[in-house]
Structure 1
Amino acid sequence: MKRRLPTVAGMTEDQARAGRATGAGEPFTGHARGGRGYRRTVVALFAAGVATFAQLYSVQAVLPALAGGLRVDPARAALGVSVATGALALSVLGWSALADRFGRVRVMAASVLLASALGLAVPAAGGLGLLLPLRALQGAALGGLPAVAVAYVAEEVRAADVTRAAAAYVSGTTIGGLLGRLVSSAVADVAGWRAGVLAVGVLGVLASVVFLLVVPPSRGFRRAPRAGRSGPRLRAALADPGLLALYAQGLLLMGAFSTVYNVLGFRLLAEPFGVSQTVVGLLFTGYLAGTVSSAVAGRAAERWGRLPVLLTATAAMAAGVLVTASASLPAVVAGLLLFTAGFFAAHAIASGWTGGRARTGRAQASALYTLAYYAGSSGLGWAGSAVFTAAGWPAVAGFVVLLCALALGCALVLLRSASGRGAGAGWPRSRPRTAAVTSAGCSRPSGEPTRW
């Protein structure tokens, strides 16, 4: 008969077993910044972010070449991105339910491995009739990482360090998106879009192997008692107006971001710019602005509060896209950098806030944010491509500004009032210096700014 381990109050038997193995005598409260477990967590999620986002967006950088090779217009070519992000959006709730039952690490590992295998098959598609189903399957497979990554960070990292860890994860996803676009674009300029997408598929396989070798086992995860208990957690994640406002940020801002990056290449390949496919690919180095801004946003939110940082970042997106309406290539590049920095700063704040705000159903809240985020990429991103096909870049800039304005309105109306009820950190405010409890159950002085 299997002997049961004695547990500390608040610990599962799996956690007690992990504590016994390491000689720990107290409940696991998360990896602290600077420790080996924290570093492994960040590196593993960085590698998984490369595997996921490089493959998801490898097609985006070669859309003009794909459109020419398959003889379709920009809106139809953009479906190569939209079907993948749409399938990802539809898959995240299923992945989050699996993660509640089988664990975060197992689900993330299955996701990146399956997606990498499909990524090697996509370049062999003879036309849109086969390319789009393969991209949809790949997108659904890729959903496992973004569906649970933030929940994994919230469970495995010390509460005081979660904001920075989440921001570091978002920074890693920007590198993945950048590498996917740069590699596919550079290779496509020499050997065609199929070779470019294949090269990114190989990169995805390598990054998946790094993830599997480095990721620490879950210690803060608590398995759902029954597989059918996800309904109440999902309802809780839909009942909070503040969470709904955060989902709206993902939907609207990602729709704006996807629109710009889907069609900018078509604009720059044409007159008055007339640049090459390689130069179009190099414009995606603008993602580095997002790598910096997402990390800066995490630190700024600790000092000034998340809501002011979110509003400022969204306003920067709107300003940036207006600058891109210029006929000067340097001005377009400057506007794109501002737009990209604003987007990733806003995404870092909104995604991290979602994971910390959820009191119950954290995985479901994270999955709903991810669903909204990729629904924006798929639906609104395709709509923006159709706007470009019909009316050109000035109409695209107006469409993006409208999406940013709607996101600002949702944040001001719902998040500010929700913050006033004390459910999350929005505007910094003073409180009596009595003990308070964080969402992770750790006490802190209540005069200290809430980090989640």
Structure 2
Amino acid sequence: MQVTERRVAVTLWCAGLAVFSVMYAPQGLLTEICRDTGVDASRASLLVSAATLGLAVSVLGWAKLANRFGTSVPLRVAGVGAAVTSVAVPWLPSFEAMVAGRLVQGVALGGIPALVMALPHQFVPAKRAAVLGGSYIAATSLGGLSGRLLVVPIAEQWGWRTALFLLGCLVAALMAALSVMTPPTPRAARADGQRHHGHLRDPAMLCLFGIGGLLIGGMVVVFNYLPFRLEERPYLLSPTVISLIFLAYLAGTVGSRVSGLLTGRAGRRPVLVAACVLMGVGALITLAGPLPLILTGVVVLTAGLFVGHAVASSMVAERARHARNQAMALYNISYYAGSSVFGFVGGLAWVHGHWTTVVAFVVALGVAAGALVGKATGASRPMGLSRSTRSNRRAPRRETGAVSRRCRTV
């Protein structure tokens, strides 16, 4: 099968829809899980945090496998693991076993976002790769939305375990499609696996990693614990009605798709700063009492996250002149570690200080992300390359210049 842009796009959409539907599906069920298992909100959130933590610790290993075998082989293996665990984990007998199972599931899922974002840069021109990258982020937002919306009404009728199992069957079907559509890729150069540590010496890369982790952490905190607030007085909303707040993910879909257009017109730094501001402003709006204002705040916050994530991840992929799989893996480590750690810490804020403390925590994350933007966008050249690598890159230009002078002399 010919490797076309459409084939790459279908692969990206299968990956984005599947991974993020199953990754965050328990988020819409946390209140019901608390009642069924007898755990508090911060412990229940471990069903989300365990999966994101497993993903975070596994992505670099998946990237190393991609360097050895090419992107397509480990991507298909990850798809099989994701399919099996998505179907099996809901039936584990205890809460603790489910947390452990979600950790294993996260390890399997980790190979997909760690590798799939490298495909556009391998098969399509750079400008189109940025567009496909935004398309993938849009797919992740729709996946996160659909997973949360599908499981809640099913859980009200047949229980949360059945809801997660049926979603797992859908994920397995998407993983089968991903395995078929993933184009074959060559092995990466051996030197790529030896020089990935150079990204950790690049201050701009480190700041981009931090921005992703801080922004996703803020959004996960809001989506984890806002349902607990809305089940209390004066709202007393049902789980199905509360799940409709996840429609705010549509703002993320739009934001990620227009992020490339915004950066083309305004530049990356203003767009990243605006994303961080939207995160903080959206969180502050949720302090208001009227439900429409709370929903408005969630929409604003979600748009900020997805715009910032789309720009930051694209900058990482573009900046990585070498070891691109490892660069994206390092970004994903920070991104999902932020989701896991800050998501759990936000639960402590809810338990001990209620919603005002949660909002203060989210605003602090947005401010910290904004403080990193200047360094992330200021450096003009990736760091961490060896002298031999830089001299090798300069050599062809000197040779080309010499040839040109000889041609003019002739």
**Equivalences for 1:291-306 in 2 at 5 Å?**
291-306=253-268
Matched letter for residue 61 of structure 2: G
> Aligned equivalents of 2:258 and 2:378: distance in 1?
25
Please state how far the C-alpha of 1:313 moved relative to its aligned partner.
1.3
Matched letter for residue 207 of structure 2: A
Matched letter for residue 117 of structure 2: V
Size of the aligned set, in residue pairs, is: 384
Name 1:179's counterpart in structure 2: 146
Name 1:224's counterpart in structure 2: 189
Name 1:398's counterpart in structure 2: 360
Please state how far the C-alpha of 1:246 moved relative to its aligned partner.
0.3
Check if 1:254 corresponds to 2:216: yes
Name 1:160's counterpart in structure 2: 127
Check if 1:66 corresponds to 2:33: yes
> Aligned equivalents of 2:242 and 2:158: distance in 1?
16
> Aligned equivalents of 1:83 and 1:53: distance in 2?
14
Please state how far the C-alpha of 1:350 moved relative to its aligned partner.
0.4
Deviation string 1:226-254 (CA, Å, 9 cap, x unpaired) is: 7xx62x32211111111011000111111
> Aligned equivalents of 1:225 and 1:345: distance in 2?
34
**Equivalences for 1:303-342 in 2 at 5 Å?**
303-342=265-304
**Equivalences for 1:163-242 in 2 at 5 Å?**
163-218=130-185, 221-225=186-190, 230=193, 232-242=194-204
Please state how far the C-alpha of 1:370 moved relative to its aligned partner.
0.1
Check if 1:417 corresponds to 2:378: yes
> Aligned equivalents of 2:184 and 2:54: distance in 1?
28
Name 1:8's counterpart in structure 2: none
Name 1:351's counterpart in structure 2: 313
Identity of aligned residues (%): 38
1:400 aligned counterpart, secondary structure: helix
Please state how far the C-alpha of 1:423 moved relative to its aligned partner.
5.5
> 75, 87, 103: which is aligned to 1:136?
103
CA contact (8 A) 1:236 1:360 kept: no
> Aligned equivalents of 1:357 and 1:292: distance in 2?
25
**Equivalences for 1:39-58 in 2 at 5 Å?**
39-58=6-25
Name 2:66's counterpart in structure 1: 99
CA contact (8 A) 2:272 2:307 kept: yes
Name 2:406's counterpart in structure 1: none
Structure 1 residues not aligned, in runs of 5+: 1-20, 23-35, 425-452
> Aligned equivalents of 2:377 and 2:330: distance in 1?
21
> Aligned equivalents of 2:241 and 2:70: distance in 1?
43
CA contact (8 A) 2:23 2:51 kept: yes
Please state how far the C-alpha of 1:215 moved relative to its aligned partner.
2.8
> Aligned equivalents of 2:272 and 2:124: distance in 1?
23
Return 76-85 or 40-49, whichever deviates more. 40-49
CA contact (8 A) 2:54 2:106 kept: yes
Please state how far the C-alpha of 1:222 moved relative to its aligned partner.
4.3
Return 81-90 or 300-309, whichever deviates more. 300-309
> Aligned equivalents of 1:335 and 1:182: distance in 2?
19
> Aligned equivalents of 1:193 and 1:330: distance in 2?
28
CA contact (8 A) 1:174 1:287 kept: yes
1:121 aligned counterpart, secondary structure: helix
> Aligned equivalents of 2:190 and 2:53: distance in 1?
31
Deviation string 1:132-188 (CA, Å, 9 cap, x unpaired) is: 111000001000011112222222221121211100011011111111111111211
**Equivalences for 1:83-94 in 2 at 5 Å?**
83-94=50-61
CA contact (8 A) 2:8 2:119 kept: no
> Aligned equivalents of 1:253 and 1:392: distance in 2?
21
Check if 1:361 corresponds to 2:323: yes
Name 2:397's counterpart in structure 1: none
Matched letter for residue 116 of structure 2: A
Structure 2 residues not aligned, in runs of 5+: 384-410
Matched letter for residue 195 of structure 2: R
1:142 aligned counterpart, secondary structure: helix
Structure of higher RCO (CA pairs closer than 8 Å, 6+ residues apart): 2
TM-score (norm 1): 0.82
> Aligned equivalents of 2:231 and 2:94: distance in 1?
23
> Aligned equivalents of 1:157 and 1:68: distance in 2?
49
CA contact (8 A) 2:71 2:187 kept: no
1:90 aligned counterpart, secondary structure: helix
Matched letter for residue 179 of structure 1: S
Matched letter for residue 190 of structure 2: P
CA contact (8 A) 2:11 2:181 kept: yes
Please state how far the C-alpha of 1:398 moved relative to its aligned partner.
0.5
CA contact (8 A) 2:66 2:187 kept: no
Please state how far the C-alpha of 1:422 moved relative to its aligned partner.
5.2
Return 371-380 or 187-196, whichever deviates more. 187-196
> Aligned equivalents of 1:78 and 1:201: distance in 2?
19
> 347, 365, 369: which is aligned to 1:385?
347
> Aligned equivalents of 2:59 and 2:198: distance in 1?
17
Name 2:393's counterpart in structure 1: none
> 91, 94, 112: which is aligned to 1:145?
112
> Aligned equivalents of 2:46 and 2:381: distance in 1?
42
Distance change in 2, residues 1:423/1:136 (3 Å): closer
Deviation string 1:336-394 (CA, Å, 9 cap, x unpaired) is: 11110111010000011101001112111100000000000111111011111111011
Please state how far the C-alpha of 1:213 moved relative to its aligned partner.
2.8
2:270 aligned counterpart, secondary structure: helix
Please state how far the C-alpha of 1:60 moved relative to its aligned partner.
1.1
CA contact (8 A) 1:52 1:112 kept: no
Matched letter for residue 299 of structure 2: L
Name 2:369's counterpart in structure 1: 407
Please give the root-mean-square deviation of Cα atoms over the aligned residues, in Å. 1.7
